[in-house]
Amino acid sequence: MSIVSQAVGHYHELLSQRAGSAADMLAAVYAEQERRGVVYATRAIPTMLRPQFISGKQDALLEYSLAVLARALEKVIKLYAEEEYVRAAIPFPADAVPYFMKPTGLRRNLMIARFDAFLQGSDLKYIEFNTDSPASVVWNEVHQEVFDELSVMQEFRTKYRLRTLEPRRMLQEALLEAHRDFGLSEAPSLAIVDWRDVATWPEFELAKAWFDANGLPTVLADPRELEVRNGALWAGDTKINLVYRRVIWRELLNRKTDCQPLFDAVDQGLACVANPFRAKVAGNKAMLSFLRNPDHAHLFDAEENAVIERHIPWTAVLRHRPVRFEGRRADPFDLAVADKDGFVLKPLNAYGGRGVLMGDEASQTDWEQALAEAEGGGWCLQRRVNIPEAEFPVMEGGLHFEPRKINLNPFSIGGQYGGCLTRVSTNSIINVTAGGGMIPTYAVLED
């Protein structure tokens, strides 16, 4: 029996011993989430009364593969600004491209990213990269602290040794690294920037509290509140030279007139913005197609190519152009028609699971309609990846255990592994905004 199976079995046994108080324990978790700000809009983020356990070997695989892929992504982002063929392979609306071409003054574009993945044994597949404005890095660590205080977790730790990381500290260090690279002489003054009505605002408040307490003065600001005056960027009465950009790139560009000072600050080099605008390049799902294309293998070293081959599922932009697939060349539309159950359709630039269609769960009519829509561009075809399932505690009608699908989401912070959160759902499209739950992830270390 694997260490993970043993750990899960032991945890379930400890929880079953507390069956009479399990519902109260879960209610206490939600109350503590609300008190500490693990809140989406006004409600505690859905969760379950068990964390996800992975083995030390799986943890090491995540750490290694993520660092290698982060390095490869930086190469492609740089090439995007230099080579027309890269821009053609990773398509964006024309109004966005000029912003991705401008130098950023940073050695690293991806200070914070989340690589969404499925992990089953040693089989790890990264299905997309969230490099624009990924949420949950701070929530995840605070959520883990809530779990650490549960009596069941405290007893569990008497038998098992767990590895945990400090993503908030890593995030602060990554932002300070960006500030140093940018070359401003003044001490860092940070603004976390997003619309004030976003559901993730409570996480910004947690981040601000952490940064303030650890020596990085921070304000929260809506991009419409920023001003450029006297040769500097201001948020109210606070002079800003470092922006933690949480506002989604496309939303920002669509409202550029209202947010012009932020664009002016970038153009004039008044503030370091992390992630910079061009980080969005890696979040386009065409990036996975670019990485997997054998014609691009010469751009990467042997280690990067090996990780790409092993951990990125076959993906192709949906165009009527032959692509390589399992040793032959084929039109991706023909592949989608011939093997509906073997593929997933995804919009290139959406997020939060929007528009994703699983071929084996779609009717023939819906699949054909989606392919017809994809004729207009902006879609990719991805080889379907097996979705892991495991038993989790459910409280309805008393404590019992039911299967849930699992999506593992490791963080890349400053190009390094920053731990991961796990999302669980009864649906194949696993997303908290779509009704899934979020649980912390612990690596179980063997003696």
Tens of pLDDT, residues 22-47: 999 999 999 999 999 999 988 999 99
Q: Which residues contact 52 (CB under 8 A, 6 or more apart)?
A: 406, 408, 422, 424, 439, 440, 441, 442
State both tokens at 373.
């829509």
- Interval 290-310 mean pLDDT: 97
| Per-residue pLDDT, 353 | 67
Does 299 score more than 60 pLDDT?
yes
| CATH architecture under which domain 3-283+388-445 falls | 3-Layer(aba) Sandwich (3.40)
Q: For residue 301, what are its two tokens?
A: 């070293």
Return the percentage of the chain with pLDDT > 90, whole number.
91
Strand partners of residue 393? 401
Any residues with CB less than 8 A from the CB of 215 and at least 6 apart, and which?
none
Alpha helices in 298-385 (DSSP H): 302-311, 332-338, 364-374
Mean of the per-residue pLDDT values of the chain: 94
Q: Would strands 343-347 and 242-245 be described as parallel, antiparallel, or unpaired? A: unpaired
In sequence order, what E strands does 94-225 have?
A: 112-120, 123-130, 161-163, 190-193, 218-221
**193 with 246: CB under 8 angstroms?**
yes
Q: What is the pLDDT of residues 313-361, one digit of tens each?
A: 999 999 999 999 998 999 999 999 999 999 999 999 876 667 899 999 9
Using CA atoms, how far residue 115 sits from 52, 112, 140, 149, in Å, is 17, 10, 15, 28
- pLDDT given for residue 350 in this prediction: 73
Query: What does DSSP say about strands 272-274 and 357-358: parallel, antiparallel, or unpaired?
Result: unpaired
- Please report the DSSP string for 148-182 in residue order: HTSHHHHHHTTT-EEE---HHHHHHHHHHHHHHHH
Could you tell me the pTM of the whole model? 0.94
Encode pLDDT of 91-145 as tens digits: 999 999 999 999 999 999 999 999 999 999 999 999 999 999 899 999 999 999 9
Q: CA 418, CA 410: separation in Å to the nearest integer? A: 7
CA-CA distance, 259 to 237, in Å (whole number)? 18
Other Cβ atoms within 10 Å of 356 Cβ, number: 19
For the chain, the structural domain boundaries read: 3-283+388-445, 314-383
Quote the longest CA-to-CA distance of the chain.
66
On the 0-12 / 13-18 / 19+ scale of CB atoms within 10 A, 422 is buried
Q: What is the DSSP string of 15-37?
A: HHHTGGGHHHHHHHHHHHHHHHT
Measured CA to CA, the distance from residue 281 to residue 81 in angstroms comes to: 10
Instruction: Report DSSP state, residue 133.
Output: S
- Looking at residue 433, what is its pLDDT? 54
- State both tokens at 170: 């890593």
Domain spanning 314-383, CATH architecture: 2-Layer Sandwich (3.30)
Q: What confidence tier does 185 reach under pLDDT thresholds 50, 70, 90?
A: confident
**Cα separation of 153 and 6, whole Å?**
15
What does the pLDDT read at residue 74? 98
* Strands 52-55 vs 437-445: parallel, antiparallel or unpaired: parallel
State residue 431's pLDDT score.
64
Question: Which pair of structure tokens corresponds to residue 342?
Answer: 């073997």
User: By C-alpha distance, which of 161, 262, 177 is closest to 221?
Assistant: 262
| List of E strands, 187-252 | 190-193, 218-221, 226-229, 232-235, 238-240, 242-245
